[in-house]
Amino acid sequence: MHCIVQGNGVLMEQLTTTETPPAPRRGSREAIVSAAERLFLNRGFAGVSMDELAEEAGVARRTLYNQFASKEEILREMLSRVSTQLGNVLPPGIETQGDVEDVLRLAARAVLAFQAPPEYVGLVRMTVADARQFPWIATAFDSILKPYRDRFERYLSYLTTLGVLDCPHPLLAAQQFLGLLNEPTLWPRVLGQDIASTSPDTVVEEAVRMFLLRYRPTHPQK
């Protein structure tokens, strides 16, 4: 608060506000992405309008467009956050955590933990449902997984050069290992089916065992 003098010499008090703005930019952005996650995963990408996103997020339409130019931009922001989460569960250096059996077990557990939340299952379901109408969604979703799939392929290829494994087609081997995990745990949930009562630990152990029965040389190089 401070005083000013009007032309007639009368002192007037003028208020100077120091209140925090009611809707900080970052808070608005977080609210919008959270709202998009709820709506997209329940109704699909095509079934949600920008107006509905603004209403769900509790922000003005102008605020929404100040933060994101389109629904596509919002979904890409969602996917970038998923990528960050995946990077946290599969950090660089995981390949050095023991011998191949230990690394496979560690990676498998990390994958199952990452895929466990219903939000991830919903994202996969939305991607499958909307990919035909919006092919870029499938491409963007795959771009999240590809760096880690490529890393796993390089790891298997490296162990093959050392004679620890015998993977003539490392990418195929990487896909097969992920399939051993996803078939009993992820895809039944995506399809809305009951998953088997097999424990995650059993799924991991059997996947590692089957993989090594195929790809570990009978007489490994010493």
User: What is the C-alpha separation between 87 and 69, in angstroms, rounded?
Assistant: 27
Average pLDDT over residues 198-216: 96
Which residue spans within 109-188 are E strands per DSSP?
none
Q: Return the pLDDT at 21.
A: 39
Q: How far is CA 60 from CA 50, 112, 129, in A?
A: 11, 38, 30
Q: Return the pLDDT at 1.
A: 46
Q: Where are the alpha helices (DSSP H) in 58-134?
A: 61-67, 71-89, 100-115, 118-130
Average pLDDT over residues 64-84: 94
Q: Return the pLDDT at 219.
A: 67
> Does the 92-215 domain belong in CATH 1.10.357.10?
yes
Q: What are the pLDDT digits (tens) for 10-55?
A: 444 443 434 443 433 447 899 999 999 999 999 999 999 999 999 9
C-alpha 46, offset from chain centre = 20
Q: Return the pLDDT at 95.
A: 84
Q: What are the pLDDT digits (tens) for 110-167?
A: 999 999 999 999 999 999 999 999 999 999 999 999 999 999 999 999 999 999 999 9
Query: If we measure between CA atoms, which residue out of 147, 161, 152, 138 comes closest to residue 180?
Result: 152
Cβ density class 115-150: b for 16+ within 10 Å, e for less? beeeebbbbbbbbebbbeebeebeebbeebeeebee
Cβ density class 38-57: b for 16+ within 10 Å, e for less? ebbbeebbeebebeebbebb
User: Which residue type sits at 155?
Assistant: Y
> Does the 2-69 domain belong in CATH 1.10.260.30?
no
- Domain residue spans of the chain: 2-69, 92-215
Q: What are the pLDDT digits (tens) for 182-191?
A: 999 999 999 9
Q: SS3 of 7, please?
A: coil
CA torsion angle 77 82 86 91 (round to 10)? 30
39 in Cβ contact with 31 (< 8 Å): no
Task: Please report, in angstroms and rounded to a whole number, the separation of the first and last CA atoms in the chain.
Answer: 81
pLDDT over threshold 70, residue 220: no
Q: What are the pLDDT digits (tens) for 169-182?
A: 999 999 999 999 99
